Amino acid sequence: KAGVTQTPRYLIKTRGQQVTLSCSPISGHRSVSWYQQTPGQGLQFLFEYFSETQRNKGNFPGRFSGRQFSNSRSEMNVSTLELGDSALYLCASSYSNYEQYFGPGTRLTVT
Amino acid sequence: QKEVEQNSGPLSVPEGAIASLNCTYSDRGSQSFFWYRQYSGKSPELIMSIYSNGDKEDGRFTAQLNKASQYVSLLIRDSQPSDSATYLCAVNIIKSSGNTGKLIFGQGTTLQVKP
């Protein structure tokens, strides 16, 4: 089975811009969770989608949003980018909602 | 108190030794426990999951869970230089409404295995 894929892998944006990241889960997995990883804060949960519905959301501002499509692919969007949004954004997919498998991540740099 | 705590390390062990990584968690509602390995510049890779008290073995890895003490550990036997990485402990809290799909991670322990 193919693993979780994320596009793009690297991204450089300017403050104030917006960005959309994409995640394709492992075939058959219906749950997609998004995480932000930074050296200072570690891995932090953003939100989780299951069958196109957001089931849980972390403590991030409303500038961070996401959605899931009927084929389970998911996107997250960050509007009005800030320097502090520079991070590795990871998505993870799950079949049983227990074990989560991570994609390679998108490295976002905000200048 | 952090929800999931790990010693940041580095934990340095000689090749062939047993590496012991520890993790404590604060929420007694925690139901599922995971260990991920993350190499520098890579994404986390799931290496062990454990759901009930006791030991679970998979090859050179053994996960141990003690819910009464809110403690989970990972033992790596016959450590190899290729095991050098950051090991992340993660906890999944199951609410009455079901699985939240949210993992809470510790800060990770850096393991160095010296030849």
Q: Look at B46 and A100 and tell me if their CB atoms are within 8 Å.
A: yes
Q: Look at B34 and A100 and tell me if their CB atoms are within 8 Å.
A: yes
Amino acid A62: pLDDT: 96
Comparing A16 with A95, which gets the higher pLDDT?
Answer: A16
Question: CB–CB of B113/B80 below 8 Å?
Answer: yes
Report chain A's mean pLDDT, rounded to a whole number.
95
Residue B106's DSSP bridge partners are none
Cα of B61 vs its chain's centroid, Å = 11
| Residues 6+ positions from B59 with CB-CB distance below 8 Å | none
Amino acid B56: pLDDT: 97
Phi/psi at B81 (5° precision): -55, -30
What tokens were used for A36?
């932000």
| Residues 6+ positions from A75 with CB-CB distance below 8 Å | A20, A21, A22, A23, A66, A67, A69
Amino acid A2: pLDDT: 84
State which residues of chain B have pLDDT below 50.
Answer: none
Stretch 7-46 of chain B: residues touching chain A, C-beta under 8 Å: 32, 34, 36, 42-46
Question: CB–CB of A43/B44 below 8 Å?
Answer: yes
Which chain A residues have a beta carbon less than 8 Å from that of B39? none
Phi/psi at B9 (5° precision): 80, -155
With CA atoms as reference, the chain B residue closest to A6 would be: B43
Burial A4-20 (b: 16+ CB within 10 A, else e): bbbeeeeeebeeeeebe
What tokens were used for A11?
């991204």
* Mean pLDDT to the nearest integer, A45-73: 95
Amino acid B93: pLDDT: 74
DSSP letter (8 states) at residue A25: P
Least confident interval from A13-22, A47-56, B43-52: A47-56
Comparing B102 with A14, which gets the higher pLDDT?
Answer: A14
Amino acid A96: pLDDT: 73
Nearest Cα residue to B31 out of B101, B109, B108? B101
